[in-house]
Structure 1
Amino acid sequence: MIEVVQHLQQYVPKTNDGKLIPIMLGGDALSVERGEAASRARMDAITEEDRLEGFTWKSEDWHGHVISLQETFNLLYKGTSSGEKGTLFQLRNLFDRRGVKSQVSSAVNDDREFIRFSTQGYAVLAAFEVLNINSADELNVHIENLKTNEQKKTFLEKLSSDIVERSVATETFKFTHEGEAENNTNNRISCGIKVVRKHFPLMGGAARDTEKRASTKIWKF
């Protein structure tokens, strides 16, 4: 890894007096770990170049993207749904996307492109539903009637807002029956805590406290 960093360091810019201007260099977690280890191994060298100080190492977001994509496939890509129209697996077979795999790490590019393709298709169908049209030709009629860019912008913003409002859940569902049971006392019987009087001399103050609490009604179904 030291040789790799030394080779890449020739592309690091320098100031007028020859000092390195460190730049960010990204990679996966293993590459970052090896790069930092290479810098630590040369930290007692004399010059900046020999100390490999030309780079600031950072982890790229690629691995996070792959994990997120895998979660999407785990949730939505099921072989058992091949007979259900509109599912990812059915669309994969319909459009002959043979490169799409359930294990994202083995087909990242194909899986990513397929998700984009499917999402764009769903968005177009949602637009058709909102505009109450059945073909792209009818959509072109809507667009041709818009003369200025401002009108087109307003049309697109309104269409996007309607799609989100109709197709995307943006509010937390609440159950309407919550709280009704506490207010409904029909068919309930009040009962109290029974206190045995003969135990008062032995129980003392505790018994008197119990007697006070006995006046509190307890509801049961």
Structure 2
Amino acid sequence: MKYLHKYVPVSQDGKPYPILCHGDQLSVERMVDAKLSMAFSEDETDQLKGLIPRPQGFHKRCIVLQDSMNSLFSGSTVGDKGSLFQIKNKFGFRTVKKKTSDCVNSCVDFFNFVTESSVCLIVCNLLNIDNIDEICQTIPTDHAAVQNLFMNICEQVINLVWPQIDKQSIQQAIRGDDSLVNQESTSDSEDPRFLDDTIDYWNDDYDSSLDETLPYYEENEDDDFEEELTETHQESHDSVFNYSRCMVWRGLLHMVQTLAERENDGHQIIADWRLDMVHFWNNNHNKYLILGHRLLAGNTKCNE
């Protein structure tokens, strides 16, 4: 950092300008430790002021992508139509491996392909299109009507794949009070289990990890899964349908986060980090949890 600090511009009054210094989790952790060790130096130059450690979104997305592959990509589902492994073999994605660090670009292209294809199938189903070469007769010609139809379709797709909210309240976990969990509530707004933003697709007694609740088929047919009611799958406990929903949701999430970084959308990037904090907690990524907390705390302080 002393070498990089030589290139930090200085204002007329001698104070260095804040410059972001990107890196992965380990690099940022070392930057923070280096700045703490030099914090009591008399010279501001030795204090390394001006260099602001910032985690790089690419490394964070690779962590989330690896978790998605761990949850959804399994060789045991090679014969199950619609699984990621079956799609990989069907369409010849030979370079895709479960270990994403060996083939990041191939995994990203594969997830984008699966997500875009799944969304196209959902839209064809919503518009009653049986052949991708035919044109839907119900599409209006007016530009405003087309925009309204497009927004309506997007909303239906999101509602279809939107994950179920975890039913254990973060507020109750902080207080250490689990007594309200077993109480029956008349509505979701009154139910304390709907107070947090933890993402999950199944209710499995609240103590199982996400990886244990995402098989392509149930290990025990007597398990009682709860899922959101949809127009086409009311009162259905279809694990294959839930698997497909989770696959599309994760694919859309990866695409949105990548787009936010390419467009340098700071507000959306911070929002993505807030969402991923729950993911880091659920998947025991404690170092990235601390890293994200520092980033969000610093961003909140700057916006005060």
TM-score by length of structure 1 reads: 0.62
What is the correspondence of 1:13-52 to structure 2 with a 5 Å cutoff? Answer: 13-43=9-39, 45-52=41-48
What is residue 2 of structure 2 aligned with on the other side?
6
Percent identity reads: 31
Candidates 146, 157, 165, aligned match of 2:151 = 157
Structure 2 gap segments, 5+ residues each = 166-225, 229-234, 236-304
- Mapped to 1, the partners of 2:100 and 2:146 lie a distance apart of 38
Change (3 A) 1:50 1:164: closer
The answer on whether the counterparts of 2:73 and 2:84 sit within 8 Å (CA) in structure 1 is: yes
Q: Which amino acid aligns with 1:124?
A: C
Matched, 1:114 2:110: yes
Inter-partner Cα distance in structure 2 for 1:74 and 1:8: 37
Report the equivalent of 1:80.
76
RMSD: 3.1
CA–CA distance in structure 2, aligned partners of residues 140 and 130 of structure 1? 11
Cα separation, partners in 2 of 1:49 and 1:103, compared to 1, 3 Å: same
**Structure 1 residues 71-117: Cα deviation after superposition (integer angstroms, max 9, x where no partner):** 32222212122223222111111222122111223322321221121
Residue in 2 aligned with 1:133?
129
CA distance in structure 2 between the aligned counterparts of 1:170 and 1:50, rounded to whole angstroms: 50
Secondary structure, in 3 states, of the residue corresponding to 2:87? helix
Structure 1: where are the runs of 5+ without partners? Answer: 177-221
Structure of greater Rg: 1
Q: Distance in 2 between matches of 1:56 and 1:124?
A: 42
- Contact 1:126 / 1:167 at 8 angstroms: preserved in 2? no
Match of 1:194 in 2: none
Q: Which has the higher contact order (CA 8 A, sep 6+)?
A: 2
Corresponding pairs, count: 169
The normalised TM-score by structure 2 is 0.47
Cα distance in 1 for partners of 2:104, 2:148 equals 36
